[in-house]
A = this chain, B = another copy of it.
């Protein structure tokens, strides 16, 4: 179903689409790539390498081989990796909660800093546009958010350093270092070195959400500087907490997540999480370890994801080029990995574009979602999530987005 060349917003509306593109969900075809996890679960069985019965309680820090797989994939020693439950978002939420209630290890004397909650109002730096669910955690937990501009090579470091230098109430920063959600930024070595080295509160933490570490969309396998090495080299060994998940490798919410950190941070995590956990679901960890095996197997699987995803990203780009290339004030990025395209509308047009798309049956991420408190002061940014719909739907949806945007611009011109 190729869209007619003379498609207009009205005609698009008449197509009565019913499509939700608001979240970065894997498509059914991507999920099929890991079907062996379900079909061959019986073969994975329940006995770990060392004979441990994964059907029973225990192993609060995760199955050893699941921790080791994380170590291999994340480039840290196994003892510094926790293999946890089905969501890295939960790990980030809980890390922030533990810090608020109990404090975190500090490098300048005392073992553990004062609970963040006991230090008055605290704040996190939020590169924008960023990930709405990071910001929702801060908002829910009463952590003030300070927006800093995101650039192609990461956050504006002059701004970050200036903010952090003299303000010990800034306790952390959200970081998606590779293929940032939603701008696709790849953080440069210099940015990461400056983040590791900058003067900051002794209990400052980089919340390093390495969500798209394996999610390349081009032939080039991008990677970012080892944040733990950079922090250690700058004598801030405990500065980074790394989070990663297999949800977009195998099953969304049906996989497991890792936390990786310096030894003192791992001990801190273990101490506080031990109170709430009876151990993760080790059967699911075992299935995943047997299925994913090693870096080579994972790389092969991710290539098959890419083969399904890349045409969708290309389709959006093609439609936008055809419809929007010549429109003043409109731009978008061609991400080299990750799950999102950022589309920038002329000021004041994003929210109306989302409304117009919705009126045509196409649900987009709410305008402003990529900003703290949901407020995009320019009302300019749109997050496009092309992964879930079928390719032809994505193409048609891109037409709809472009036509909605053009209509919004027209309306504004009045």
Contact = CB atoms under 8 A, between A and B. Distances in A.
Interface of A: 23, 25-26, 28, 31, 34, 38-42, 44-46, 53-58, 85-87, 89-90, 93-94, 97, 100-102, 117, 133, 136-137, 140-142, 247, 251-254, 272, 275-284
B86 A275 contact: no
Nearest to A250: B55
B57 A252 contact: yes
Given A253-B281, A281-B284, 17 more contacts: A28-B56, A31-B46, A31-B55, A31-B56, A39-B41, A86-B278, A87-B277, A90-B278, A93-B275, A97-B97, A101-B142, A137-B276, A140-B272, A247-B278, A252-B279, A253-B278, A253-B282
Closest 4 CB pairs of A and B: A41-B41, A93-B276, A57-B252, A31-B55
**How many copies of this chain?**
2
Contact of A57 (B28, B85, B253, B275): B253
B53 A28 contact: yes
A62 to B, nearest CB: 11
B280 A253 contact: yes
A277 B140 contact: no
Given A26-B56, A31-B55, A117-B117, A89 B284 contact: no
Nearest to A86: B281
Contacts of A282: 253-254
Contacts of A101: 97, 100, 141-142
A142 to B, nearest CB: 8
A99 to B, nearest CB: 13
A251 B56 contact: yes
6 contacts: A38-B42, A38-B46, A41-B41, A102-B140, A252-B278, A253-B280
Nearest to A272: B140
Contacts of A251: 55-56, 283
A57 B280 contact: no
A12 B13 CA distance: 83
A363 to B, nearest CB: 14
A38 to B, nearest CB: 6
Contacts of A39: 41-42
